Structure 1
Amino acid sequence: MPALDLSAPSVDIARAICDIPSVSDDETVLADLIHAAVDALPHLDVYRDGDTIVARTDLGRAQRVVIAGHIDTVPINANVPTRGIVIDDEPYLWGRGTVDMKSGVAVQLKLAAELVDPRVDLTWMWYDHEEVDSDLNGLTRLARTRPDLFAADFAILGEPSNGTVEGGCNGTLRALVRTKGVRAHSARAWIGENAIHNAAPILARLAAYRPRKVPVDGLVYRESLNAVRISGGVASNVIPDACEVEVNYRFAPSLTAERAEGHVRDVFAGFSVEIVDCAEGARPGLDAPLAQEFVAAVGAEPTPKYGWTDVARFAALGVPAVNYGPGDPHLAHHDEERVPLSQIADVERGLRSWLTAS
């Protein structure tokens, strides 16, 4: 595998790392290349934990900024290697990871190599297992083994944001809403009770539900409550005695996990509800002085992040954080994932300008 050339343009770095498969749990090859590339840079102190690489400046600056990006992707579906395409006269880089989020990582690697005298001290984090269970996330592991590395005044996560600033993120909760019945032969259905039919009121409540729009620190977050999976049934000739509806609640960052759980239980009052996963969101973080300077420098009009991202991990540690990266979030995980080359250049320009301003 050729070494990563961090002197190349960001677009070329993006193409190179996107062409290296790194589906979650298979990041080691790419992590090795990133490690080797940044370990050769004398102005950075490098630390590795599994397939997470941290590179830091130590210039004695008064403030420190963390800039992070995950190196794993969702599974490939005939969209690697990358290729260049043109849509409406706009050149794009097409392929898995171009949006989520290797183009952002490419910009970070380029700047990590070149910015030897930034205005703030920098901690670069490239981490594994973001696209899978939270317990496997490289930042989860790193926060447990080296919490000192998270000390900072501000953090930027390179999640796709169309090259603008997305503040904070919604929280996410998953719940299992269950019904019971009585098994019977389907030819004598009246002897039993159909648990799947008993789930109809659950779906009716979801269909009638009107999600809220919640203002938080100047940004308006849209919530949602949806069924994402239904399971039930024993055999084609058996009346089912159990049914389970999995529900996903995306809630505004002003809500605690406890309040979010209470809301879901209120919506499904009368049913058995088991909360199986909950991660609080992050407030926008735009009131921090460094955040305000950053937004002004990149000329962005901040918008809310509706999906959950790892900015929530930084917020939980008391570090205000925003999302800023190339790529349309609507194309994350899409089989036609693609990023405009202009956005890669714009994000590099924005970060470089802010980090080198006197």
Structure 2
Amino acid sequence: MTTPHAPAPGPAILDLASDPAELTAALIDIESVSGHEGRLADAVESALRELPHLRVHRDGDAVVARTAAVRSERVVLAGHLDTVPLPTVEGSRGTVPSSWSGQGDDRILWGRGATDMKGGVAVQLALAAALTQPNRDVTYVFYDHEEVDSARSGLARLYRNAPELLEADFAVLLEPTDGTVEGGCNGTLRFQINPTGLAAHSGRAWRGDNAIHKLAEVLSTLAGYEPASIEVEGLVYREGLNAIRIRGGVAGNVIPDSAGVEINYRFAPDKTLEQAQQHCRELFPGHELEFVDLSPAARPGLDRPSAAAFVAAVGQEPKPKYGWTDVARFSEKGVPAVNFGPGDALLAHTDDEHVSARAIRDCYRALQDWLTA
């Protein structure tokens, strides 16, 4: 006897006029692990197409909605729909469906994506419904495949397929920042140094050439490296250069003929990718560097009028973003961008991921003030 399969879930319906915190819970309840964003993208698209002041475009599982009020400025509010996989720990609170604890404005919402970043997406959706005549034209971007390798990014695909939809003067990425503006981001690159030698029996080591020993100079450079702190547009970015992976060795009686170390360089937005690569080459003369991942930094653009007005609306001193985010994709295309969203980034991807109702509502009000003042 076979057990019947559970019926596929029907179309999800989102109420964009609901409280942004409750809308966050509704988004959490629609599972959207990377590669499975379709049902959530369908719900977002369906809800946005009900709003006559928006023009909606779908590309794969990315949805773009734009106002067309012909204002003097256009800004982007962007967020990704996908989450990392659900927790495997039994009894975890970072699961689907969502759950609440506490009372009133201090209630805490638990569930996968609460912090990263369905709280931010809920704010985008609520603003898209409420702001029929914003003081700036707004492009709302909801994209897929952010939590996986860069080659699959839905935002990168949008830039390839429909770059005109993303043209703007300024962008806000609603990644979790605990309600503080984090300007731009450090760039990141990874490279490998893979010296070769000559294998031999360790009892006759003089007949070989130990590849692992050739890493000594590389590791010494890394251990003595003093990362720079660099000011860009009033924000101080701290750099870093670190070994993140090492390999070598064949057996207990073999002189190894190959070895390797992988190194990550986090660099401030005063440098281009090419300048960052050249800095690494200068640090390791005589070695061939094999670059395996390259992501540019992003300047914060806080000198733009729209950015200054945004910082004033938030009412807090902006901070630098040390990690890499998709603001770099906007910056690379000439659109200065900042990170600003509800929730603590340190809770992202954890098994107890959560966000407060107050944080979601505060984020909504700050953006609403900026776009209506």
TM above 0.5: yes
Deviation readout 1:83-126 (Å, 9 max, x if unpaired): 3356xx95432332222211101111111112112111111000
Moved more, 259-268 or 175-184: 175-184
In terms of fraction of residues, the more strand-rich structure is 1
Cα drift, residue 225 of structure 1: 0.8
Local SS of the residue matching 1:100: helix
Deviation readout 1:187-219 (Å, 9 max, x if unpaired): 655543332343233222222211110001111
Q: Distance in 2 between matches of 1:215 and 1:77?
A: 39
Find out whether 1:66 has 2:66 as its counterpart: no
Q: Match for 2:55: what amino acid?
A: D
Aligned residues: 356
Cα drift, residue 295 of structure 1: 0.9
> Mapping of 1:1-358 within 5 angstroms?
1=10, 2-78=12-88, 79-81=94-96, 82-85=98-101, 91-185=107-201, 189=205, 191-235=207-251, 238-357=254-373
The match for 2:4 is none
Query: CA 1:206/1:337 → structure 2, altered by over 3 Å: closer, same or farther?
Result: farther
Query: CA 1:271/1:85 → structure 2, altered by over 3 Å: closer, same or farther?
Result: farther
Local SS of the residue matching 1:180: coil
Q: Distance in 2 between matches of 1:35 and 1:237?
A: 62
Moved more, 140-149 or 22-31: 22-31
Taking structure 2 as the reference length, the TM-score comes to 0.89
Q: Distance in 1 between matches of 2:353 and 2:251?
A: 39
Q: Distance in 2 between matches of 1:204 and 1:90?
A: 50
Q: Distance in 1 between matches of 2:244 and 2:112?
A: 24
Q: Distance in 2 between matches of 1:347 and 1:125?
A: 17
Cα drift, residue 300 of structure 1: 2.1
Cα drift, residue 277 of structure 1: 2.0
Moved more, 158-167 or 333-342: 333-342
Query: CA 1:185/1:337 → structure 2, altered by over 3 Å: closer, same or farther?
Result: farther
Cα drift, residue 237 of structure 1: 5.4
Q: Distance in 1 between matches of 2:28 and 2:361?
A: 17
Query: CA 1:190/1:333 → structure 2, altered by over 3 Å: closer, same or farther?
Result: farther
Q: Distance in 1 between matches of 2:287 and 2:349?
A: 33
Deviation readout 1:161-198 (Å, 9 max, x if unpaired): 11111111111111111222222345655543332343
Structure 2 regions of 5+ residues with no counterpart? 1-9, 89-93
Structure 1 regions of 5+ residues with no counterpart? none
Moved more, 93-102 or 251-260: 93-102
Cα drift, residue 7 of structure 1: 2.2
Local SS of the residue matching 1:306: coil
State the identity %: 57
Deviation readout 1:36-85 (Å, 9 max, x if unpaired): 11122222111000011001111222221111001112222233123335
* RMSD between superposed Cα atoms in Å: 2.1
Local SS of the residue matching 1:336: coil
Moved more, 286-295 or 223-232: 223-232
Cα drift, residue 25 of structure 1: 1.9
Q: Distance in 2 between matches of 1:94 and 1:10?
A: 15
The match for 2:7 is none
Q: Distance in 1 between matches of 2:196 and 2:351?
A: 38
Taking structure 1 as the reference length, the TM-score comes to 0.93
